[in-house]
Structure 1
Amino acid sequence: MERLRQDDPPYIGPYTTLARLDADSTEHTVPERRYLARSADGERTVLVCVPRVGADPSRWAIEAEGARRLSVARFLTVAEVGGTAGFPWYAAPYTPMLPLSAVLAAYGGPLPENLVRGLGAALAEGLAAAHAQGVTHAGLSPAAVLVTPGGPLLTCFGAVRAAAPDGMPRSGLPGLDPGCLAAEQASGGRPGPLGDVFALGAVLAYASTGHTVPEQSELPPGLRRLVAACLSRAPADRPTAQELLRELAAPAAGTGPTEVSPLPDRTVLDHTAPLPLPGRVVAALADQSGQLLGMELPATQEPFTPAQKVH
């Protein structure tokens, strides 16, 4: 969570912005501008998102509406879509949340293998459910993964489709993490389920090493074959999300069915959580929640002007 900047809107729709979710260092690979905000009566705190600077707001708005209509486990629940043709937005109820980059920062480096496997299994479950409904996420990257006390959520739905229409090259476009963009999507191909699997492989690599394109030797031995398969250049050589889920949920090589490697700093309450988190990550989530809930709304709101819009 970061302080607002001068170019950030003071409010979006009915919500007063309080803070930015993403750090400046990750801004280039986040496909939308994300804010923590509160309703004018102070009763509701939300995550509210708008297109990034330079994006086509009409394509972004189409994907936001698509996200609102989704009802898939592990996908962020979009409660509202609003705004104008030039300034669309969507909002979701707030729960303590950290982008994956902030999780690694709080932990102090790459995550342990059993935590990466649990994270990957949860995300693969969401993708498999979406693919079974004929839906492609088309936007998975480390920035799209928000870790909450209830487990990870998939956000940034449709970022690849919103960045450029099919047939137009997408390599090098702001907001798209190049390490997460499958070759067929980078060249302008229509996003498909196996492109999501490629992106999930890059997310697993990032969680394990701190970057999306690591050397094979940097990956934990138990994940090398699986991540390499996900990152195959040919879509047909990648596993499906359902196959990936089965492999990630299975015990890692060299462990028994009940043997789990310990997580440093695990809190005593985490054993019942869907994705048990290290204590330092739990503390970062609690700190965000405390800071945010302690923020007060301005006494008055100035009229909104075009100069305050996020273009």
Structure 2
Amino acid sequence: MQPLEAGEPLSIGAYRLLGRLGAGGMGRVYLGRSAGGRTVAVKVVHPHFALDEQFRARFRREVEAARRIGAQWTAPVLDADPDAPVPWIATGYVAGPPLSAAVTEHGPLPEHAVRVLGAGLGEALAAVHERGLIHRDVKPSNVLLALDGPRLIDFGIARAIDATASLTSTGVSVGSPGYMAPEQIRGTDISGAVDIFSLGAVLAYAATGSAPFLGDSSAVLLYKVVHEEPELGELEGGLREIIAACLAKDPERRPSPDELARRLLPGGAAAAVAAGWLPGPLVREVSR
């Protein structure tokens, strides 16, 4: 967490800000605390989105939908204000690093942890899709690793921006080039299968330490996702087969979220998490 800088808000809504957790193309994330002592993550969109009434309307709808998800492996939406001068959303704070940071610092996860990760996120996506939602931006930085299980984050803002921005018109794309599904890149009709493709890429990254599609520019990455097979390194056996199925170019060939979770961990994620799922170095980091 970084200290607040001059010009940054000291509070948002009912939450006193304690520091900045991160920033990206869509906005900034702050650690906040309510008057009752609850710790939350507050995401504030970039001001230029606030000027777009279409964005605000979409954001309002998506936040209300996200409130209803309530899946075990997601960070719950607690509060939001789409009508604020700069719209924001508050979710439960998850004490754990993003997958991206964990792999960068500690290397790939062991197979058991990858299976628990995939099963938990598969169960989360099943709940999301059952409510007619699509996440659209499943990537390592949107997956948090906590002692009590993985969490999929960043609902609401990504889907709202999807209605008001495109890669060609504004330089903002919903989805990250190396993790977007082929049909997402082509701009054709999409379904929840795009999230499964992205999750497959996330699991490949978690298991090997490298994304399955690499390139020195967004254009190269997008081309490879659409036209080339993924690079899965030394992955082998059942885990390789499952991840490869998620990364099928044809969305009809990808497993459903429930099927993916069962194939990865037939007994479900909860029991495996309760028995301890993170490797020692990550346990020590999260426990500090």
Q: TM-score, normalised by structure 1?
A: 0.72
Q: Secondary structure at the match of 2:77?
A: coil
1:279 alignment counterpart: 280
Question: What CA distance in whole angstroms lies between the structure 1 residues aligned with 2:38 and 2:107?
Answer: 34
- 1:26-65 aligned within 5 A: 27=24, 31-39=26-34, 41=35, 43-52=37-46, 54-55=48-49, 57-58=55-56, 59-65=58-64
Aligned to 2:202: 203
Q: Secondary structure at the match of 1:218?
A: coil
Contact 1:68–1:81 (CA<8 Å) still a contact in 2? no
Alpha-carbon spacing, 1:89–1:210, altered in 2? closer, same or farther (3 Å): same
- Measured in 2, the distance between the counterparts of 1:274 and 1:132 equals 28
Residues 170, 185 of structure 1: 8 Å contact kept: no
Cα distance change on mapping 1:181 and 1:228 into 2, 3 Å: same
Q: Using the alignment, how far apart are the partners of 1:70 and 1:217 within structure 2?
A: 32
Shift of 1:95: 4.0
Identity %: 39
How big is each residue's C-alpha offset from its partner over 1:41-95, in whole Å with a ceiling of 9 and x where there is no partner?
4723211112246545514443233212322232211111126354111212334
2:95 corresponds to = 96
Which residue number corresponds to residue 138 of structure 2?
Answer: 140
Count of residue pairs the alignment pairs up: 261
Please give the root-mean-square deviation of Cα atoms over the aligned residues, in Å: 3.0
1:3 aligned residue = 3
Is the radius of gyration larger for structure 1 or structure 2? 1
Q: Which amino acid aligns with 2:90?
A: A
- What stretches of structure 1 of length at least 5 have no aligned partner? 252-269, 288-311
Distance, in Å, in 1 between the alignment partners of 2:163 and 2:132 is 19
Distance 1:174 1:19, change over 3 A: farther
Cα distance between partner residues in 2 of 1:161 and 1:93: 19
Q: Which has the higher contact order (CA 8 A, sep 6+)?
A: 1
1:150 aligns with 2:170: no
Task: Look up the match of 2:225.
Answer: none
Give the letter aligned to residue 18 of structure 2.
Answer: L
1:103-252 correspondence to structure 2 within 5 Å: 103-106=102-105, 108-158=106-156, 160-165=158-163, 169-170=166-167, 173=172, 176-214=175-213, 216-222=231-237, 223-250=239-266
Query: CA–CA distance in 1 between the matches of 2:146 and 2:259?
Result: 25
Letter in 2 for 1:68: R
* Inter-CA distance 173–130: structure 2 relative to 1 (3 Å threshold): same
- Measured against aligned partners, the alpha-carbon deviations of 1:108-133 in whole angstroms (never above 9, x if no partner) come to 11111221111001111111233234
Aligned equivalents of 1:158 and 1:76: distance in 2? 12
Write the distance in 2 (CA, Å) between the matches of 1:158 and 1:189.
21
Work out the CA distance in 2 between the residues paired with 1:105 and 1:213.
Answer: 16
**1:190 CA drift (Å):** 4.6
Corresponding residue for residue 13 of structure 1: 13
What is the TM-score normalised by the length of structure 2?
0.78
1:115 touches 1:275 (CA, 8 Å); kept in 2? no
Q: Cα offset for 1:217? A: 4.6
CA deviation profile, 1:224-277 (whole Å, cap 9, x unmatched): 2222221222211211112211211159xxxxxxxxxxxxxxxxxx98736521
Which moves more between the two structures, 44-53 or 236-245? Answer: 44-53
